[in-house]
Amino acid sequence: MILATLALIAYAGVIVEAAARATSVAALIGALGAVGVLMLVFVLWRADDELLPWALLLAGLGYGLSLAVRHGGVAEGAPLVGAGLLLCGELVSWSLDERFAIEADRSIVAARGGALAGLVLGGVLLGGLVLAVAAAPLGGGLGWTVVGAAAVVALLGLAARLSRS
């Protein structure tokens, strides 16, 4: 129950962040977020994680929408939004794992919590690194686009390999 609540809080945090930064489309972002929350509640209630990626995608779309209407410089909070989505997904998954009444050593629970914290922190740092690299005067152009495309291909390849195995 605690994990599920924390997951919902993380999700709500992302939605609030997106809506606060773009008040003109706050209602639309709120609607997307509400649907996403309903999906998360369904996932937690039915212990079926099929809708989890869709809920995360809706939150991501909401944030993308807020970026689209936003004027000004780079949003520094983007890595935190990504980390929030990751945290939400992991907490939901952990909550579903804990549905089975399995007596576990306290050290195992602590180890998973630590690993999750490390993963989220690493995600924030990586996101921050991306923003830092973008802000640095390294020049733009085709090279970065190729790097981005290669990353996309690598991720899709990884997803395809894992979904096949």
Partner 1 sequence: MTRIDSSRIVAYAGLAAFGLVAGLVAGRVELVAVAAPLALAAVVGAGLVRDPGVSATLTLDRERALEGDDVGGTIALSSAAPVDRLELYVSLPRELQLVEGNPRAISLAASRTLDVALRCERWGAFAVGPVALRARDRLGFHSWEAVAGGAQPLRVYPSAETVRALLAPLETQVFVGNQTARTKGDGIEFADIREWTPGDRVRSINWRATARRGELHVNQQHPERNTDVVLFLDTFTDVHHGMRGTLDMTVRAATSIAHRYLQRKDRVGVVSFGGFLSWLLPESGTRQLYRIVDSLLQMDVVLSFAAKGIDILPPRTLPPKALVLALSPLLDRRSAAALLDLRARGFDLVVIEVSPVPFVDPGAGELAQLAYRLWRLSRESLRMRYEQAGVPVVTWQDGQALNVVLEEVTAFRRHAVLTRA
End-to-end, the C-alpha distance of the chain in Å comes to 32
Of 6, 12, 41, 124, the one binding partner 1 (CB under 8 A) is 124
Nearer to partner 1, 26 or 56 (CB): 56
Of 20, 69, 74, 117, the one binding partner 1 (CB under 8 A) is 74
Burial class (CB in 10 A: 0-12, 13-18, 19+), 59: buried
163 binds partner 1 (CB under 8 A): yes
Kindly state the DSSP code that residue 47 receives in the 8-state scheme. T
CA distance 114 to 107: 10
Are the C-beta atoms of residues 66 and 18 closer than 8 Å to each other? yes
Of 128, 137, 138, 143, the one binding partner 1 (CB under 8 A) is 128
What element of type H or E holds 73? none
Interaction site with partner 1 (CB under 8 A): 49-50, 52-53, 56-57, 60, 63-64, 67-68, 74-75, 78-79, 81-83, 85-86, 89-90, 93-94, 97, 100, 102-105, 107-108, 111-112, 115-116, 119-120, 122-124, 126-131, 134, 145, 148-149, 151-152, 155-156, 158-159, 161-163, 165
